Structure 1
Amino acid sequence: MEYYDLIIVGAGPAGSTLARALHRSGKRVLLLDKQAFPRDKTCAGWVTPAVMESLGINPAEYEKGRTLQPIRRFRIGMMGQPAVENDHGHVVSYGIRRCEFDHYLLDQVNCEKQLATQVRSIEHRYGNWELNGQWQTPLLVGAGGHFCPIARLLGDGPGKHETVVSAKEVEFRMTPAQAQACAARGDTPELWFCQDLKGYAWVFRKGRFLNIGLGREDNHRLSDHLQAFVEDMTLAGRIPSDLPKRFKGHAYLLYGHANRPLVDEGVLLIGDAAGLAYTQSGEGIRPAIESALLAAEVIQSAPDYSALALQRYGERIAARFGTRANDQEQGREIPEWLRLPIASTLMRSHWFTRKVITEKWFLHQEVPPLDRAV
């Protein structure tokens, strides 16, 4: 049985970032994922300049052979009423394809990897964790998304007592005819909020690719909501009529709603496995990257991997993203004060859609990038 100082389960942005951050720590790391890379990943797919800075990615270098769609504007509306378009005057985000982005990050990792490998068993013996009867470690890091098997160690299973956002989306390469029939512009993602404000839909053009989807706080009639949205966008000429038939589903937890612990004896969760997606927008890439960087700092300085020693990670998360207790007082993805009749009016305001929805809730421009040397 091979021994590692830590094993990271999940090779997405969170897992890859942690493994890379620990490269010079002298620790022997195993990065494990159930899929082979590059792999298809259901995600609208955008990253802010803060993410690129924290990862040390030069956009000019990254876009060589990959999709990198500069975003300068947003088109935002409530379903059933006209949208508002705001021009930010500069690049405020980038559209990426997760199959490319995740593979790029994984390629930067210099540690042992076991891809296309399912976690079949987890046992705790003599102070160490044993995975699949093959690998042994004192520290397991869960980075495998909402349904990460490591997250199950810290409770009775993901989603049992938590508000889960369910989403369906499709991403495909458009034919020339489809591209001509698509009025949505690459530099202007479209966000359309459900009238009950329990979710939103999007139309996101990234070069030759188009991503369309809808996510809600509950799974009630999700397909019906999505179908109605697609029909409306097709009639409005925003998207081509001949979309792929199969939309893929995924789920995640909003930070203010998740109640799973972040650490336990010899266990630590990062990214979506920890339920760190931003409460207002559901965006999870930046929290995944930043949680991995915070975890790396704690892992390198911790005297051991006890729950007490690892609790500093939870404190760093709370300091960065706020305490969940305060967020739970708001109780929903959109603040309660916005669930009033004024919501329809606010959604037609250029100031509100730009300053609050886009710059504060989706881009978090008031929060500086997390330094890689945390």
Structure 2
Amino acid sequence: MDYFDVIIVGAGPAGSTLARALEGSGKRTLILDKQSFPRDKTCAGWVTPAVIDSLGIDLADYADGRTLQPIQRFRIGMMGQSAVENDHGRVVSYGIRRCEFDHYLLERVTATKQLATSVKSIRRQAGNWVVNDRWEAPLLVGAGGHFCPVAKLLGEGPGRHETVVAAKEVEFEMSPAQARACQARGDTPELWFCRDLKGYAWIFRKGNYLNIGLGREDNRKLGDHLEAFVEAMKQGGRIPPDLPGRFKGHAYLLYAHAERPLVDDGVMLIGDSAGLAYTQSGEGIRPAVESALLAAEVIRSAGDYSASSLQAYGEAIARRFGNRAGESEPGWQLPGWVRSGLASALMRSHWFTRKVVTEKWFLHRDVPPLAQAV
């Protein structure tokens, strides 16, 4: 049996950020992931300057051999009507490919790594957690996404009672002919809201790569909405007429409507495993990174790993992201007043699409960077 102080399950942005933030603390840390890296991870994939700041990333270093698409405009509309384009006059975000971004973050980690290894068993032994009958630690951190095996230890775990947003997307490198046929521009991601406001689709060109997807709270109609959106975008020339491969699916929880506990005795959840995706946009990278940094601060200072000691992490999450909504709140991210008959007109407004949709919901310009760096 190999003994560690902390075992992190999941080597995505949340897990790798936590592992790196614990360096120098004296904590012996193991990070596990079922996949080898670089891994195939389809994601719209944009990160704001706040994320770059929190991670201490040198943009020139990152851009060397990797995709880094500056973004300064957004094109926003409701399906079936014309879109509104807003120029922010400066770079407000960066497009990245998750296969590159996640690998870059993990390569910076010096802790022990065990990749291409699935978690087959988790059990308690003398107050410690034993994973796969091979690794033992008093603290287990779930960072493995929506279906993280550590999340299953808390409450009811991932299950049918959760209000889950389901998404399908594809990302591919365009051929010269496809690039010429694609009207979407790299510096201008496109967001298209469904008419019933239960989800939205996106077109995001990152250098020579194109990402197209759609997410909804109504999983049963996801395929129909995606097919209709793709066909409309093809007809309008926004995307190439020939899309390779199939769309891949994934799921996540919106913060205000997730019910998963964040801590228990010897257990913490961070990132998507905790259901921290922003309620208005579904973005999970910034919450993943910030939750990992907040968790690291608590782990460094905790006298023990009891639930009462770790509760400081839950309190820090509430201060940073607000309190979760009650059961009476609607499941999807948009406020009730936006769902009203005003929605169509609002989505034609430059002020609303810029100040509310883009700057507030998607860029979180009103939320300052976390006042700590890895």
Q: Sort the TM-score into its range (normalised by shorter chain).
A: over 0.9
Amino acid at match of 1:243: L
Q: Deviations for 1:174-195, whole angstroms, at most 9, x for unmatched residues? A: 0000000000000000000000
| Equivalenced residues, count | 374
Match of 2:287 in 1: 287
Match of 1:56 in 2: 56
The 5 A counterparts of 1:23-172 are 23-172=23-172
Give the CA deviation at 1:328.
6.3
Structure 1: which 5+ runs fail to align?
none
Give the CA deviation at 1:217.
1.0
Match of 2:342 in 1: 342
Amino acid at match of 2:137: T
Q: Deviations for 1:41-73, whole angstroms, at most 9, x for unmatched residues? A: 121100000000000012122101000000000
Match of 1:360 in 2: 360
Q: Assess if the C-alpha contact under 8 Å between 1:257 and 1:328 holds in 2.
A: no
Amino acid at match of 1:290: E
Structure 2: which 5+ runs fail to align?
none
Q: Distance in 2 between matches of 1:35 and 1:371?
A: 32
Give TM-score scaled by structure 2 length.
0.98
Q: Assess if the C-alpha contact under 8 Å between 1:252 and 1:272 holds in 2.
A: yes
Amino acid at match of 2:346: L
- Local SS of the residue matching 1:221: helix
Give the CA deviation at 1:362.
0.3
Match of 1:219 in 2: 219
Give TM-score scaled by structure 1 length.
0.98
Match of 2:260 in 1: 260
Match of 1:194 in 2: 194
Amino acid at match of 2:301: S
Q: Assess if the C-alpha contact under 8 Å between 1:256 and 1:328 holds in 2.
A: no
Give the CA deviation at 1:310.
0.3
Amino acid at match of 1:180: R
Q: Deviations for 1:105-159, whole angstroms, at most 9, x for unmatched residues? A: 0000011000000000000111000000001110000000000000000022313
- Local SS of the residue matching 2:240: coil
Q: Distance in 1 between matches of 2:328 and 2:185?
A: 36
Q: Assess if the C-alpha contact under 8 Å between 2:257 and 2:326 holds in 1.
A: no
Match of 1:203 in 2: 203
Q: Assess if the C-alpha contact under 8 Å between 1:42 and 1:250 holds in 2.
A: no
Q: Distance in 2 between matches of 1:306 and 1:138?
A: 10
Amino acid at match of 2:361: W
CA RMSD for the aligned pairs? 1.1
Distance 1:276 1:347, change over 3 A: same
Amino acid at match of 2:309: A
Give the CA deviation at 1:331.
4.4
Q: Assess if the C-alpha contact under 8 Å between 1:145 and 1:272 holds in 2.
A: yes
Establish whether residue 16 from structure 1 lines up as the match of residue 16 from structure 2. yes
Q: Distance in 1 between matches of 2:319 and 2:330?
A: 18
- Local SS of the residue matching 1:30: strand
- Local SS of the residue matching 2:367: coil
Q: Deviations for 1:202-245, whole angstroms, at most 9, x for unmatched residues? A: 00000000000000012022111100000000000000000014
- Local SS of the residue matching 1:318: helix
Amino acid at match of 1:356: V
After superposing on structure 2, the runs of 4+ consecutive aligned residues of structure 1 that deviate more than 4 Å are: none
Q: Distance in 2 between matches of 1:104 and 1:328?
A: 41
Q: Distance in 2 between matches of 1:71 and 1:363?
A: 11
When structure 1 is superposed on structure 2, of 28-37 and 154-163 the one drifting more is 154-163
When structure 1 is superposed on structure 2, of 151-160 and 117-126 the one drifting more is 151-160
Distance 1:41 1:373, change over 3 A: closer
Amino acid at match of 2:311: Q
Q: Distance in 1 between matches of 2:278 and 2:363?
A: 10
Identity percentage over the alignment? 76
Amino acid at match of 1:273: S
Distance 1:66 1:140, change over 3 A: same
Amino acid at match of 1:258: A
Distance 1:328 1:164, change over 3 A: same
Q: Distance in 2 between matches of 1:68 and 1:272?
A: 24
Give the CA deviation at 1:330.
5.3
Match of 2:303 in 1: 303
